[in-house]
């Protein structure tokens, strides 16, 4: 790559704003808090922050129910606070991405208030309204991702409206050109303000089959999986027309600068995910690749997964990798604290753009939430199904103070039990900490072109070893990861015989011919 964009060579860091830093002692993180911690992120070495929704919202789903796309929720601050944060990011060489939630609004959005006012309201068709099925009941069998029917009866107008998530989150009708233009206007509003791009929430949900047929039953479903999996979302997601909308969004972004980036949240098999790069015309720059979140932590499986993903990429398609986010269990809980270090090395040495979830850099694990402290609507609707997202959204720990430096009030969710030692201040002073490992990985990635823009090539290995080369021009690097809890031999390729160990997840004493348990190495 002769001239990569920042989003190709850089690293994105996701911030869940309620949990990052509280500046006014109400127990909820805010924009001033984020700004106060930017220098710590610069010290870590990231290139961009993606901030989960900060728009005005009743908070039925903690900001993913938007009541005004062009404002700032007072819990997080003001538009002046946002402008200050954006300027502070840019002054430090950081980019700022917003979380755009276009599939649905809050039921408190003025658009929906008009839509439900009467059947002949000009905005009636901005949402998805349908008559009852013959004989009564919902129009079809579609199920909300939060459980229960995806249709809500509106007594006043005698129709159902569709909601893929909570009933407080009615879906917009993206087949209506007025909706399209209004939402593209939202993108322009924030791009005019200077934001560097957007993560687009549930992009694959945005268009539904025009005839609303029943979804087929899922033959593999069991009650333990949760109700949303009872049917296959064949007709309620991933419709062909969504690609036209993605192309429209891309045209808007490209009209500002090739440095403005669009990232699509898309949970689909790889072969369907690739369509969102665009077939014939560009769509999103980075369709999120969640395979590391979902795959078994086995060397053979991951080697095949990485190779298949690389092979599937369309011409010009830039890869990306995600290890955790605000919806899924944390890496330290999935793999354990030692393998979380190996996972960090994997994330930051694969080809493509990585996204780090806040707290992963201190090895934060899922935090047990007492029943009386649960606030996630998904867990409250279907308790005990393993769907609770609260454990991965808990406050960041900055120091060993009584509330971990996050707030001087009562944190909105509990802290992790070991915050006195598992915090940024303690780990920044410890060269062997996972924070220091992340910092060193990010520094090495930035320094070596082979790591941030180079080719990826598989290396033959066996057992619990996953190995691959990174190559750029004459520069060659070798990454070797032991995904097991026992020492493993490794046959160093002949071409790599003169390479030296640059970094180990376990510090000094590394031997690339025999990796220690839970060890990752970078040779160069």
Sign of torsion over alpha carbons 458, 267, 29, 416: negative
Looking at 100-227, list the stretches that DSSP marks H as alpha helix, in order from N- to C-terminal side.
110-115, 177-193
- Map residue 236 onto helix, strand or coil: coil
Residues identified as active-site: 201, 265
Task: Name the residue with tokens 């402290």.
Answer: 373
CB contact at 8 A, 443 and 502: no
Kindly state the helix (H) or strand (E) to which residue 286 belongs, with its residue range. strand 286-287
Structure tokens at 392: 């991965």
Query: Which whole-number Å values give the CA distances from 105 to 44, 69, 94, 310, 340, in the listed order?
Result: 35, 9, 29, 36, 36
> Could you tell me the two tokens for 317?
């398609």
Report the chain's terminal Cα–Cα distance, integer Å. Answer: 20
Using DSSP, state whether 34 is helix, strand or coil.
helix
Residues pairing with 466 in the sheet: 481
- Residue 66 CB contacts under 8 Å (≥ 6 apart), including other chains: 53, 55, 56, 57, 101, 105, 106, 109
**Burial label, 164 (beta-carbon count in 10 A; 0-12, 13-18, 19+):** buried
- CA dist., res. 208 & res. 170, Å (int): 13
């Amino acid at each position: 790559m002769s001239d990569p964009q920042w989003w190709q060579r850089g690293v994105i860091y996701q911030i869940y704003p309620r949990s990052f830093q509280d500046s006014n002692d109400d127990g909820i993180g805010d924009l001033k808090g984020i700004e106060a911690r930017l220098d710590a992120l610069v010290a870590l070495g990231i290139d961009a922050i993606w901030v989960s929704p900060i728009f005005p919202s009743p908070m039925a789903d903690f900001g993913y129910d938007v009541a005004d796309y062009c404002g700032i929720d007072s819990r997080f601050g003001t538009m002046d606070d946002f402008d200050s944060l954006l300027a502070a990011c840019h002054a430090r060489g950081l980019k700022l991405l917003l979380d755009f939630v276009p599939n649905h609004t809050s039921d408190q959005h003025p658009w929906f208030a008009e839509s439900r006012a009467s059947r002949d309201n000009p905005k009636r068709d901005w949402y998805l309204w349908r008559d009852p099925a013959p004989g009564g009941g919902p129009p079809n069998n579609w199920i909300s991702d939060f459980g229960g029917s995806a249709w809500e009866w509106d007594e006043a107008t005698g129709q159902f409206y569709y909601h893929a998530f909570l009933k407080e989150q009615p879906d917009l009708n993206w087949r209506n050109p007025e909706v399209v233009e209004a939402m593209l206007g939202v993108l322009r509003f924030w791009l005019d303000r200077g934001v560097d791009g957007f993560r687009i929430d549930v992009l694959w949900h945005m268009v539904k089959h025009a005839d609303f047929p029943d979804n087929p039953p899922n033959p593999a479903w069991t009650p333990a999986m949760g109700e949303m999996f009872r049917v296959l979302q064949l007709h309620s997601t991933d419709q062909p027309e969504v690609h036209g909308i993605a192309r429209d969004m891309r045209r808007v972004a490209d009209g500002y600068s090739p440095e403005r980036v669009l990232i699509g949240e898309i949970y689909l098999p790889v072969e369907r995910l690739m369509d969102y790069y665009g077939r014939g015309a560009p769509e999103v720059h980075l369709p999120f690749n969640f395979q590391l979140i979902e795959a078994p932590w086995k060397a053979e499986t991951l080697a095949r997964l990485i190779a298949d993903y690389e092979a599937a990429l369309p011409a010009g398609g830039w890869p990306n990798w995600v290890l955790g986010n605000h919806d899924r269990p944390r890496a330290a809980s999935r793999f354990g604290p030692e393998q979380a270090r190996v996972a960090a090395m994997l994330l930051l040495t694969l080809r493509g753009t990585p996204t780090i979830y806040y707290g992963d850099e201190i090895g934060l694990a899922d935090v047990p939430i007492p029943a009386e402290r649960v606030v996630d609507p998904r867990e409250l609707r279907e308790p005990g199904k393993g769907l609770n997202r609260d454990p991965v959204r808990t406050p960041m720990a900055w120091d060993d103070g009584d509330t971990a430096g996050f707030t001087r009030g009562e944190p909105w969710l509990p802290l992790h039990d070991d915050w006195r030692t598992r915090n940024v201040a303690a780990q920044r002073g410890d060269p062997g900490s996972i924070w220091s490992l992340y910092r060193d990985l990010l520094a090495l990635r930035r320094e070596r072109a082979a790591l941030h823009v180079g080719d990826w090539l598989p290396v033959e290995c066996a057992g619990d070893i996953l190995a691959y080369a990174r190559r750029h021009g004459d520069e060659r690097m070798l990454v070797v990861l032991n995904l097991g809890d026992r020492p493993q031999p490794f046959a160093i390729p002949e071409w790599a015989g003169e390479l030296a160990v640059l970094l180990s997840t376990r510090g000094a004493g590394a031997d690339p011919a025999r990796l220690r348990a839970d060890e990752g190495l970078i040779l160069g």
